[in-house]
Amino acid sequence: MQTVTVEKGGGSVSISTKDSSLFVSGSCDSTAKLWDTRTPARALHTFQGQGGDVNTVQFLPDGRYFGTGSDDGVCRLFDTRTGHELQHYHDQHSTSRDPSNVTSIAFSYSGRLLFAGYTNGNCYVWDTLLAEVWLLSL
């Protein structure tokens, strides 16, 4: 057994469905990190750009992409191979002065739909290809 030390406040992890040695972590330093358990001394890549603590991370079923949800009320989709942010999705009913934190995310089996839960009780279902709200539950 090996121990991987993620950043202080790292509270969410997701294991790749295609390669169980890879996982992503979210932390309170506004980053998500890609790790390989075979080389646990350092992260393979650090994904910047979140506007607050990263509360939740989740791999898509294909194992190449993952999503994050953070305190700025935004969900983001990243590519593990390129390290780029592909898209972002934000709670359209919260204000920029008082955003609702994203508390959880999940993807449909196909990866087409992103489900996001917020601290204000809203739940969005996003179409990841069109970056549009498919369903909203208040």
pTM over 0.85: yes
Domain range annotation of the chain = 12-137
The C-alpha atoms of residue 86 and residue 20 are separated, in whole angstroms, by 23
What pLDDT, in 10s, does the model give residues 48-72? 877 888 999 999 999 999 999 998 8
CATH topology classification for 12-137? Methylamine Dehydrogenase; Chain H (2.130.10)
The C-alpha atoms of residue 70 and residue 118 are separated, in whole angstroms, by 10
| Beta bridge partner(s), residue 74 | 90
- What mean pLDDT is reported for the chain? 86
Task: Answer for the pair 69, 56: CB distance below 8 angstroms, yes or no.
Answer: yes
What pLDDT, in 10s, does the model give residues 36-45? 999 878 899 9
